[in-house]
Amino acid sequence: MTDVQAPVWFITGCSTGFGRELAKLTIERGWPTVVTARGRDRVADLADGKDHVLALDLDVTDMKQISDAVSAAEQKYGRIDVLVNNAGYGYQASIEEGEEDEIRAMFDANVFGLFAMTRAVLPGMRAKRKGHILNITSMAGFMGLPSSGYYAASKHAVEGFSDALAMEGAPLGIRVTCVEPGPFRTDWAGRSLKQTPSTIADYAETAAARMGATSGYSGRQPGDPVRAGEAMIAATEADQAPRHLVLGAIAYNAVTQKLNERLAQIELWEDISLSADFPS
């Protein structure tokens, strides 16, 4: 068991990127932290010599590993206060050239694995009438861009799931925040991005061009993953936790523009929309 005042964090995908930087911040604060990765050896250094850190093997597509990891965390610390669903990766292809196996594998990690992790921690949070779930989505949770249709679809799925979860969890003291970053310097493009190159000339200026630009952008993104971690921690400490936490100027500007455009288009067709009901 642990100090009842210190929040217990459980973070998936801690080998690199957002997960690792966030874990380092919670560990530095002395908070009990469960760090996980596909291969415990990839996060063992985070736990070395620290009793308040538990390093575990966790592939979020493996239901037994999920169950075992949650049980181990609850046995050691008594509860999980914050779940960070960070594990996942990207896949780029034109819609037409997307490969079925690659699409399904990405959905298993980004969507179904996240769903399963959430289900596993909910009984404990519900019993304590307390908890906060951070789902790392993306600015792609609000929009699809050339070459990222399937990735955006996976993030849109998490956003819709989170809407329902927030409404079901609110009366039980469980809060939900979707974290929606833009480009951050996490080596995501070089490490966590798969691609099916486009060979159809008709997509040269759309999907193919964006895939090439994404690959060449790694290491030059404006977003700072450490500052992103601090923002996530701030969200969990706020009296009114944000339902959406958009991170980085690129994401903020793109998301707000997209939402304004979407609202304007919906309102433009208001008369037609309302005319679809039976007459009063």
pLDDT band at 217 (very low <50, low <70, confident <90, very high): low
What letter represents residue 6's amino acid? Answer: A
- Angle (CA) 177-181-184 rounded to 5° is 145
Whether 131 and 175 have beta carbons less than 8 Å apart is answered as yes
- Percent of the chain past pLDDT 90, that is, above it, reads 88
Q: C-alpha 132: how far from its chain's center?
A: 14
Burial 230-268 (b: 16+ CB within 10 A, else e): ebbbebbeeeebeeebbbbebbeebbeeeeeeeeeeeee
Give the tens place of pLDDT for each residue, 219-258. Answer: 677 778 999 999 999 999 999 999 999 999 999 999 999 9
pTM of the model: 0.94
Catalytic one of 150, 151, 217, 252: 151
Calculate mean pLDDT across residues 158-184. 96
- Domain 9-274 adopts which CATH fold? Rossmann fold (3.40.50)
Res 76: pLDDT: 97
Structure tokens at 217: 């952008």
Res 188: pLDDT: 60
**Among the listed residues 221, 210, 135, 218, the one whose alpha carbon sits nearest the alpha carbon of residue 184:** 221
Active site residue 217: no
How far apart are the C-alpha atoms of 254 and 259, rounded to whole Å?
Answer: 9
How is the chain split into domains, by residue range?
9-274
Other beta carbons within 10 angstroms of residue 140's beta carbon come to: 23
pLDDT band at 185 (very low <50, low <70, confident <90, very high): confident
Calculate mean pLDDT across residues 67-89. 97
- Angle (CA) 99-101-103 rounded to 5° is 65
